[in-house]
Structure 1
């Protein structure tokens, strides 16, 4: 069994838009494309952002040409920056804070993403020997998220991310090792499933046995993964935009996030891991 149920409270790592000052709708830039209907510069409010910091087209983003918004997740960084880092004072009330608030938001977002992975790693029973180290890095990452605006703006997130990644890699290896050995029908499992960073754009992987595969950072854009077995696969950073996951089995896959699922295509027979939600646009 890949995971254990520790009843953790991960609400702080879920976006609470009602407690945020619309930071993702202002701080981040985007260009007119299949994902966004318009161009928007960093620091400029989206034309759909209302005075109460809510999105005016939230319930019809895809139909309005903004599917890119539906696959974005701040992992709770928005409310952290809004209510903790800046103490509940918004950038409209205090325009002098805007520039720094928008600069700090992506920093905290990267830290919260690491918290998301570390929190999951601590639920993975095969990696129990690493739980002490994982917990230490989790606590350090949490400490960093509580720094003041000046310190956060100067923070070297890349170096910290490298330290976390080393441990997540070791965690992945221990979990994926469960997929080695012999299958119930006597067939030998493929031990050569290192697809890390692989270019699998549009790949035909229908029914593929990818159990225990390393798909970290793999480009699976528009790949056909219909009926594929992705149990125990490491999907951290994998690009699943428009990948067909109809009938695929993702139970037990590790480091898969809601934005990745939202970017993919699936159906009612797609099996998703506990804690993640089947996207509303899946048929």
Structure 2
């Protein structure tokens, strides 16, 4: 199933890993919907990539907003693929803070809502639309790629909310693949390590070098283009299903 034969919806597609995925699948010939809230960046990216790429303002935690983005994807052609790569919120808190008070429930809930509930919201609505398409000769209708993090496996001090959310994404993967198997829809998760996104670059070269020191090989941060290349391969490889793939240069997070 070639990318050029379908439409790809990418959440968080205006920047970072999502932007890299948008560019990669667009180059492969797919029509793309950038589902994001960053209007200026998304509109510029869509304009740069041509008339087969469209920006649809989307709140992944809102049912109607995601349903609208999926409907717009269907107008561009046969909607077969979704890539869930959004970000933008997180809290850094220990379970019990230095002053002895418990961590914020609101911060935990917001993090879960964005990264876990938002992922599930896109997964369920996109899958229902993909299920209505005609299967290929192998019985395949499409695929959904979700994005976790290696923090799902060895979260650092203060990452409890983020780690819980990303562990939830990992936990959904095999169940979703089994739920959707009879419909010919695959589900695969990518768990990146420390990636050199524009947000990460704000910390400066000295801090980036410290992050890279804990990565065995290659001894550098991951590139968004490497994430995008893996995503494109997953979408086109019909035997990848129900798995979480670490993309981390053999990195394992230390406690701090």
Larger helix percent: 2
Instruction: Determine which structure has more spread, i.e. the larger CA radius of gyration.
Output: 1
Higher percent of residues as strand: 2
Confirm or deny a common fold (TM above 0.5): no
Q: TM-score, normalised by structure 1?
A: 0.23
